[in-house]
Structure 1
Amino acid sequence: MLNRPIRYAIILLALLLAGCDSSLVKPDPNEPAVIRKAQPKTGATVKEQLAPKDLVALAQQKKSPEREALLLQAAEIYVSQSKQSQARELIKDLNPAKLTDQNFVKYSEVFASIELKDGNLDAARRILTVTRLEQQLKGLEPSQEAILRELRAQMFERNGQLQESISERINATAVLTDSQAANANQEALWRTLMQLPLNDLQINARKGSGGITQGWYSLAALSKNNTQDINSQLAALTKWQSQWSSHPAASNLPKDLRALQSSLKQQPKKVALILPLKGRLAEAGEAVSDGFFAAYYQSVNTSLPSVRKYDSSTGVAAAYQQAVSDGAELIIGPLERDDVNIISRLPSLPTPLLSLNYPDQQPARPLSNFIQFGLAVEDEARQAARQGIKDGNTRAIIVSTAQDVSERSAQAFASEFQKLGGTLIGKSVFSSLDKFSENFRHSMLLDESQARATLLQQQLGTKFEFTPRSRADVDMIFMAVTPAQGRQIKPILVFQYANNIPVYATSSIYSGDTDPANNEDLNGVLFNTLPWVFDNENPEKQAIAQNTKSAAVYGRLHALGADAFHLYSRLPQLQRSPDMNIYGATGSLRLLPDGRIEREQMWARFNQGLAEPLVTVVDTNSPEKNQ
């Protein structure tokens, strides 16, 4: 299944293309009519259109500008069929400087689509920001402008330029006439706004003099402020709608905000926390509790629920039943996987439960009132697979260890990557440096390269200097390893001529320590991690540091506890709005149909030994960014 950003982009482009003539630019009266006649008419079926090979044959009989117009039309069809290589071959020799304005716009659209699909973001940016195209944008037919705005929005977003992407989508609202396309654009706009930190949204909301852009930032800041209770948020929303009554969103609110009203009446008044208070996991339980109560006391909610803690170490089933008997309306916990397994096997759950881990196996039948939330490495690995595919990487090598957590991560990555159409080239298991080096060398076919060179030397009867070549069909490497293991493995990748292949990892690659000397060997590694790690302005994080003895090493569990609190009042809202997200300390959270909370973490990259947060993922195919 495609991840939502890609799916929304495909849907929106399909809607835009379906609702307009492929000429889309205002016809040039000086260009021969054959250009317009050769293009598919609005609503034309596939049978009514010429096949690409027929268009190419026709183009060979024509002169400029008819020839270029037909080639571009054929390339456009290839792009729609995800045949980028064929499309690229058709237009690679076209000189954009010599194209008419009409053909130049179509060339820019088609070529940018190819580069975006292939993950070549720098190339797409050059095409879509060239002065000649930008000068023509507002003079185009609305439908053509909408398509180019969509392409520019995608390009800016994927390059990490979120505010530029937002600007493109806001400009697109003025030229979209099809209601489906307009709604899809608004959903994509909202999703992009929600990627920005709350502080950035609030700063932009204070800028301007009441224009549409300022209204969007103001609404997004209102939505993303998790410290507000639902009553306060509803009051703020009503005030926003009054202040921005003519804004496009005033009569068509994003789904998550539309669900606020219906969620108000379902707030639990009594909450139970089932955590290990004794035994080997007592410190972990305390860390989750510290995170939960830090968020609890930082909340501006004037009607907070009463909270009671129960010890799971004395028996989780008994603790659950006791919480139910005590009148709990929502139960949060347990934390330990074995305890979650026990809960998942209960015949029924009379009171809703938000677990803080996942069972080894999902229940054969969905268990009503059982909502699963946690810090599963499998989620992080699946996200890495989706990001790799999004970046245009379709052939991967996995690097893992024999440890259970690493193997689970590797399996989750492999499953998701293959489900999305990717191909696994190989897998190297790290146990010792020597064995791994040999194993990885084999995966990269370096021995075969050396053998070919040796054979050539024998045939020529002379020796010559030779550098082995690694295989050229590997797009990415996924590592499921610890920081210490990663520091040993990454130099081997460089030594084995894989230094230009982008390396992805999960949060397990980063301990959270600022240690540039030791982490220098990890330069270029891209990894997903909790927003909590880099958000030092988070009031909940600051409260824990100031008021508890909980060590920073438990930061992930602090974040888990904080988000458990953020979720307690939002579960009814999430259940009513499948596409709604809560933007928390552990990532962007949404509820899946099977009752699991899916997390999308932020991304970071090692540079000069330091982990640097990325607002969104930049082009990982650029070699200089992986040195």
Structure 2
Amino acid sequence: MLAFKILMKTQAMSNRLLSVLIITTLMIAGCSTQPSRTKSGSVPIVEEGPLSTIQNHIAMDRLFEADISIQELDPYTLSQDDQVRYYWLKAKLAVALGRGEEAISALNAVPPGAFSRIKDIPEHDSGFIRAQALYLKGEFIASARERMFLSGVLSGQANQQNHQGIWSSLMQAELKDIEALQQKTQTVLFKGWLDLALLIKRNQINLDQQLSNLRLWQAQYDGHPAAKDLPGELDQLEDYVENKADYIALMLPLNGKLARTGKAIRDGFFASYYQALQAGAKVPQVKVYDTSQGDFWNLYKQAILDGNELVIGPLSKQSVERLQQEHRLPVQTLALNYGNRDYQENPEQLYQFGLAVEDEAELAATFARQQGHQSAIALVPQGSWGERVFSRFSQAWQGQGGALVEAQFFSGSGDYNKVISQLLSVDDSERRAYQLRRQLRTRLEFQARRRQDVDFIFVAALPHQARQIKPTLAFNFASDLPMIATSQVYSGSPSRSKDRDLNDVMFCDIPWILDDPELRSTVKKQWPQAAGGLDRLYAMGADAFTLYPRLGQIKVLRYSRIPGYTGQLAMDQYGQIVRKLSFAQFKNGIAKKTQGVVGHVEQQRSL
């Protein structure tokens, strides 16, 4: 059994790595801009005073050092004005670290209007912080409303960025919540925003209908600020409609060892295709090519000669790497896997999309850091899959200043007690007691204990493995140790009896699983095998159809996100699709989405 211990020296984090945790989405970066008195989103450096250390750490982007300093300072030892500054800094830091609840608590710790009476606190800054914090908590409509209250006092760039922030928050909100509020609101300005959000959300699969409805909305709300300056990518919508491909090659393996995967993606693609067709959308002609037969590159060139304007596929990593060798591809190509992800020079028109578990491991590290955890242990399976997951988690966690004190690799699905006992150092506790008994030659009352120097455990495991790991942690005195995992711990099918042992486990997963959309039910009726281990692949196929007309859009507009079945989809500078996922937690054996937004891997990729 492969086991090793990873020791880490606590180091000050570099500015560049710390920026990973700053929530840099448009709705947050934009709303930090103030109309007067301070530079955009800045905290001035000060030379003296009880808050100077905290303030200077934040100004230099040394966020975790600031977090430590602010916890060590007792606000009741400060003057009344410095207490207000303390809670302003605490709220601003909490938002930068992705802790919405903590930011709201800090803002509510001072009397109304207290922030505006302190001259060195930027005007309206507490309102912007509150909007950001509400967004982080998942209260998207409340965040949009907070921004609307601020829009009346803003001008110039600050107003434009806040304008985009309103839209971004509404795009994150649930359709049913927007519909409910749209029926109640009497405010013309807010009603206009809600109507705009509804027409876009209701027609995600039909760009032609989106464009038609958008023109009607602009005529109805000609005086609305969003009609004069369309938010997000809406001003580009006409171009996307005119330039989307009419002929598509879908290149997947339909025989051989990857046949089940290829067929699941194909069927998910056509499920979304026919849903769009039934909704009245103009759909492309699609020709399917079986990549399991013959040389892929020759088949790819044949697909181009057949007149296809866009290629979706291939699926195999080897074939994607073959595409990466080209300087430029003749047509837009959406590969359904990632090739060499260290490639800095990908060919023009190559885009890569997949469900890489490594990205989920990176997300788990960021989520844990936002929860305030500082030290971790890891438990992952032996083999190349486990090594990739562990490597990405380790890099992300330590890169964010976290300490990784030990890791263990397990094999199979048998008795986990030995490996977990070693991971938690319970066996060391028992060994010391045994040695003490021998030295004293007497019976001793002894209670084994686990190590106390860790805040959480990261686990990558399949459902049947995780259902044994969690109780074994409790057996080894770690029932109170938070467990954060990748999506593989959840089968995707609710089962109180099977998953009751997973209570309190936190994991990230895709909307297809956590939201259970209507298309998923349709797919299960058509293909009963979709309820099993292939479930998420059908979602990937459906998103391939969602993405195809929007590849140019999300390449150019880095803040643009496409709501998909596999997450909120964006593109990094290398043409790789990156996914924004929600976290869930098992409660009474059922996985429930938790509120909140987590900083995601796209922040490391210049989005």
| Category of TM-score, reference length = shorter chain | 0.7 to 0.9
User: CA–CA distance in 1 between the matches of 2:590 and 2:129?
Assistant: 33
User: CA–CA distance in 1 between the matches of 2:43 and 2:521?
Assistant: 60
Residue 487 of structure 2 corresponds to 507
Q: Are 2:269 and 1:269 aligned?
A: no
The secondary structure found in structure 1 opposite 2:584 is strand
Residue 494 of structure 1 corresponds to 474
Residue 552 of structure 1 corresponds to 531
Q: 2:360 aligns with which of 364, 380, 397?
A: 380
Cα offset, 1:160, TM superposition: 3.3
TM-score by length of 1: 0.80
Q: 1:19 aligns with which of 25, 37, 40?
A: 37
Gaps of 5+ in 2: 1-16, 600-607
Change (3 A) 1:478 1:172: farther
User: CA–CA distance in 2 between the matches of 1:120 and 1:397?
Assistant: 22
Superimposed CA distance per residue, residues 43-95 of structure 1 (whole angstroms, 9 cap, x where no aligned partner): 9975xx4x23xx2xxxxxxxxxxxxxxx4566544554532333343443348
Change (3 A) 1:45 1:582: closer
User: CA–CA distance in 1 between the matches of 2:160 and 2:512?
Assistant: 32
Residue 422 of structure 1 corresponds to 402
User: CA–CA distance in 2 between the matches of 1:45 and 1:76?
Assistant: 7
The secondary structure found in structure 1 opposite 2:149 is helix
Partners of 2:558 and 2:571 within 8 A in 1: yes
Partners of 2:44 and 2:55 within 8 A in 1: no
Gaps of 5+ in 1: 22-42, 56-70, 620-627
Change (3 A) 1:351 1:124: closer
Superimposed CA distance per residue, residues 288-313 of structure 1 (whole angstroms, 9 cap, x where no aligned partner): 22211111121135422111111111
User: CA–CA distance in 2 between the matches of 1:360 and 1:331?
Assistant: 19
Alignment of 1:297-312 (within 5 A): 297-299=274-276, 300-312=279-291
Q: 2:170 aligns with which of 193, 198, 220?
A: 193
Partners of 1:159 and 1:618 within 8 A in 2: no
Superimposed CA distance per residue, residues 517-536 of structure 1 (whole angstroms, 9 cap, x where no aligned partner): 22122111111111011333
Partners of 2:208 and 2:281 within 8 A in 1: no
Alignment of 1:420-459 (within 5 A): 420-431=400-411, 436-446=416-426
Change (3 A) 1:497 1:153: farther
Superimposed CA distance per residue, residues 450-498 of structure 1 (whole angstroms, 9 cap, x where no aligned partner): 6777899989x995555635223x2332111111111111123233333
Change (3 A) 1:426 1:465: closer
Q: Which amino acid aligns with 2:141?
A: Q
Q: Are 2:575 and 1:595 aligned?
A: yes
User: CA–CA distance in 1 between the matches of 2:378 and 2:475?
Assistant: 17
TM-score by length of 2: 0.82
Residue 255 of structure 1 corresponds to 232
Residue 412 of structure 1 corresponds to 392
Q: Are 2:220 and 1:243 aligned?
A: yes
Q: Which amino acid aligns with 1:495?
A: F
Change (3 A) 1:157 1:290: same
Q: Which amino acid aligns with 1:6?
A: I
User: CA–CA distance in 2 between the matches of 1:490 and 1:591?
Assistant: 36
Q: Which amino acid aligns with 2:126?
A: L
Superimposed CA distance per residue, residues 541-573 of structure 1 (whole angstroms, 9 cap, x where no aligned partner): 233234445532222111111111111111121
Residue 38 of structure 1 corresponds to none
Residue 33 of structure 1 corresponds to none
Partners of 1:395 and 1:424 within 8 A in 2: yes
Change (3 A) 1:123 1:269: closer
Q: Which amino acid aligns with 1:552?
A: A
Q: Are 2:242 and 1:285 aligned?
A: no
Q: Greater shift after overlay, 377-386 or 428-437? A: 428-437
Change (3 A) 1:272 1:398: same
User: CA–CA distance in 2 between the matches of 1:266 and 1:527?
Assistant: 39
Q: Are 2:452 and 1:471 aligned?
A: yes
User: CA–CA distance in 1 between the matches of 2:530 and 2:53?
Assistant: 61
Superimposed CA distance per residue, residues 111-139 of structure 1 (whole angstroms, 9 cap, x where no aligned partner): 43455567776554433335x63476899
Residue 109 of structure 1 corresponds to 88
Superimposed CA distance per residue, residues 373-407 of structure 1 (whole angstroms, 9 cap, x where no aligned partner): 11111222222222223333343222101133222
Q: Greater shift after overlay, 251-260 or 351-360? A: 251-260
Q: Which amino acid aligns with 2:522?
A: A
Change (3 A) 1:169 1:94: farther
Q: Which amino acid aligns with 1:282?
A: A
Q: Which amino acid aligns with 2:70?
A: A
Residue 566 of structure 2 corresponds to 586
Cα offset, 1:141, TM superposition: 8.4
User: CA–CA distance in 2 between the matches of 1:91 and 1:114?
Assistant: 16
User: CA–CA distance in 1 between the matches of 2:67 and 2:596?
Assistant: 25
The secondary structure found in structure 1 opposite 2:575 is coil
Change (3 A) 1:109 1:564: same
C-alpha root-mean-square deviation of aligned residues, in Å?
3.7
Change (3 A) 1:166 1:348: closer
Change (3 A) 1:80 1:502: farther
Partners of 1:480 and 1:508 within 8 A in 2: yes
Q: Are 2:250 and 1:232 aligned?
A: no
Residue 181 of structure 2 corresponds to 204
The secondary structure found in structure 1 opposite 2:331 is coil
Superimposed CA distance per residue, residues 316-340 of structure 1 (whole angstroms, 9 cap, x where no aligned partner): 2232122111100001112233333
Alignment of 1:55-134 (within 5 A): 55=49, 71=50, 76-77=55-56, 79-81=58-60, 82=63, 83-94=66-77, 105-113=84-92, 123-129=102-108, 133-134=111-112
Change (3 A) 1:126 1:578: closer
Q: Are 2:127 and 1:149 aligned?
A: yes
The secondary structure found in structure 2 opposite 1:477 is strand
Partners of 1:226 and 1:566 within 8 A in 2: no
Change (3 A) 1:352 1:153: same
Q: Which amino acid aligns with 1:169?
A: R
Residue 514 of structure 2 corresponds to 534
The secondary structure found in structure 1 opposite 2:568 is strand
User: CA–CA distance in 1 between the matches of 2:264 and 2:525?
Assistant: 14
Partners of 2:199 and 2:214 within 8 A in 1: yes
Number of residue pairs matched by the alignment: 572
Q: Which amino acid aligns with 1:335?
A: L
Alignment of 1:325-364 (within 5 A): 325-345=305-325, 348-360=328-340, 363=343
Residue 31 of structure 1 corresponds to none
Q: Greater shift after overlay, 511-520 or 343-352? A: 343-352
Q: Percent identity?
A: 32
Cα offset, 1:173, TM superposition: 2.6
Superimposed CA distance per residue, residues 172-214 of structure 1 (whole angstroms, 9 cap, x where no aligned partner): 333445x444444444443333322333333333431243333
Residue 496 of structure 2 corresponds to 516
Change (3 A) 1:117 1:347: closer
Residue 563 of structure 1 corresponds to 543
The secondary structure found in structure 2 opposite 1:399 is strand
User: CA–CA distance in 1 between the matches of 2:237 and 2:186?
Assistant: 28
Q: Which amino acid aligns with 1:159?
A: K
Cα offset, 1:435, TM superposition: 7.8
User: CA–CA distance in 2 between the matches of 1:369 and 1:200?
Assistant: 38
- Tell which structure's C-alpha radius of gyration is larger: 1
Residue 622 of structure 1 corresponds to none
Q: 1:158 aligns with which of 130, 136, 143?
A: 136
Residue 13 of structure 2 corresponds to none
